[in-house]
Structure 1
Amino acid sequence: MRTFAIGDIHGGLKALLQVLNKIEVTEKDNLIFVGDYVDGWSESAQVIEFLIDLSKKINCFFIKGNHDVWCENWLREEDVNPTWYMHGGKETIESYEGFTADEKRQHLDFFENMDLCFIDENNRLFLHAGFTSMHGVEKEIFKENFYFDRTLWEMALAVNTEMDKNSIFYPKRIQHYKEIYIGHTPTTNFGKSEPMNALNIWNIDTGAAFKGRVSAMNIDTKEFVQSDNLPDLYPDEKGRN
């Protein structure tokens, strides 16, 4: 049995299919998605429809990202958040053209049932963005941090990797977990097209919303596969700028 962590997809169904084909996913595998399924490319609604069907065949865990929160609110209340609309929401709304009210309700149920974080039996934490409590995710007061926070990743990049884990200066919030897997902050922001590791944190958002790729990592071996660059899969679209 294998477990894969899959990074941000942002409406790129073609990229997601490439990744699943490359890992030759089977019914024995576990798939953990770290959020942001929508917004960016033209197939957001189709990504959600595919994931709903996939979860009926394969053991999947779905983490909620900030773009998923925006889409969920729109499906529930038809509330068009201006920030969301400018950062991929327009394309997501357009992708729902032709979907029935019942199908949209099923998608809303899917979003509402997503977890904000997940801890597996080996004490590995999965969430979209980060958290700030030094006592771990269970003590996080502001749940929005799970899908908006960037300080966890920024901290990991800034800490001296040679620092002793027993040092009083070693970040306490990450000591609670064997490993942490996140998305949200594209590795392409740091000139990297592949997943990045800092301390015990793995960032698997490889810029699919922009000019990067969707990535899937085997969390036991750290081997990973990637899709083509999203602009190559959607040559007539711009994605997010």
Structure 2
Amino acid sequence: MRTLVIGDIHGGLRALHQIMERAKVTKKDKLIFLGDYVDGWSQSPQVLDYLIELNSTNDCIFIRGNHDELLLHWLKDSKDNLLWYNHGGEATVLAYEKVSTENKQLHVEFLQSLQDYHLDDKQRLFIHAGFTNMNGVNYEYFPKLFYWDRTLWETALALDTSINPNDVSYPKRLTLYNEIYIGHTPVTRINKTIPIKKGCIWNVDTGAAFKGPLTIMDIDTKEFWQSEPLHQLYFDEKGRN
């Protein structure tokens, strides 16, 4: 049995189909999705339909992303904001014009069921964005940071690799878990399109919301499979570009 981790999808169902096929995913595989299933490309409702169906056949863990939370507020409480609208929300709002009230309710239930993080028995943490408490996720005062924080990845990016992890000046947050898997901040910002490891952190957001591919990775072997860049799969759309 493999454990496979999947980066930010952002409404790109075609890319999700590609990586599932390219990784030859079977019902024996455990799937951990890092969040941000929606906002960007035009198939956010269909992505959620696919994930709900997948959950009935596979062992899946679904982490909450900030975009998933924004969609939940819009569906449940009609909370809209221009910032969300301009960062992928517009495509989602348009896509939901064709979704039934009944189906919207299923999506609300799915979005409410998302987990803030997952910690496995090998001290590997799966989380959308990060955490800020120096003692780890169990001590975080502000749970929204699980899907909004960028300081964890920024800390890892700025890490002086000559410092020993036992050194007092080594960032404590990077010593708490054997591995941390995140999305949220695309590695395309550092001109990469493959999963990047910094310290103990693996960033699997390879820029699918923009002009990068979607990625699925085997966490034990570190082998990964990718879709075509999403702007090529949705050539008549802008995504979040």
The residue number in structure 1 matching 2:4 is 4
The residue number in structure 2 matching 1:77 is 77
Runs (5+) with no aligned partner, structure 2:
none
Contact 1:195 1:203 in 2 (8 A): yes
The aligned runs of 1:149-228 (5 Å cut-off) are 149-228=149-228
- Segment of structure 1 superposing worse, 188-197 or 94-103: 94-103
Query: Partners in 2 of 1:226 and 1:161 — Cα distance?
Result: 28
| TM-score, length-scaled by structure 1 | 0.98
Deviations 1:150-178 (A, max 9, x none): 11001011111232111111111221111
- State the number of aligned residues: 241
Contact 1:70 1:81 in 2 (8 A): no
Contact 1:46 1:95 in 2 (8 A): no
Matched residue type, 1:67: H
Contact 1:183 1:204 in 2 (8 A): yes
The aligned runs of 1:40-55 (5 Å cut-off) are 40-55=40-55
The residue number in structure 2 matching 1:143 is 143
Query: Partners in 2 of 1:82 and 1:96 — Cα distance?
Result: 17
Q: Specify the SS of the correspondent of 1:125.
A: strand
Query: Partners in 2 of 1:153 and 1:176 — Cα distance?
Result: 15
Q: Specify the SS of the correspondent of 1:225.
A: strand
Query: Partners in 2 of 1:23 and 1:69 — Cα distance?
Result: 28
Query: Partners in 2 of 1:113 and 1:123 — Cα distance?
Result: 23
Q: Specify the SS of the correspondent of 2:21.
A: helix
Contact 1:136 1:174 in 2 (8 A): no
Runs (5+) with no aligned partner, structure 1:
none
Query: Partners in 2 of 1:121 and 1:103 — Cα distance?
Result: 35
RMSD of Structure 2 on Structure 1 (CA) = 0.8
Deviations 1:44-90 (A, max 9, x none): 00000000000100011000111001001011012112211111111
Query: Partners in 1 of 2:175 and 2:240 — Cα distance?
Result: 35
How far 1:98 sits from its partner (Å)? 2.2
Query: Partners in 1 of 2:59 and 2:235 — Cα distance?
Result: 33
User: What percent of counterpart residues are identical?
Assistant: 53
The runs of at least 4 consecutive aligned structure 1 residues that moved more than 4 Å come to none
The aligned runs of 1:93-112 (5 Å cut-off) are 93-112=93-112
Matched residue type, 2:117: C
Q: Specify the SS of the correspondent of 2:216.
A: strand
Query: Partners in 2 of 1:61 and 1:165 — Cα distance?
Result: 30
- Segment of structure 1 superposing worse, 122-131 or 156-165: 156-165
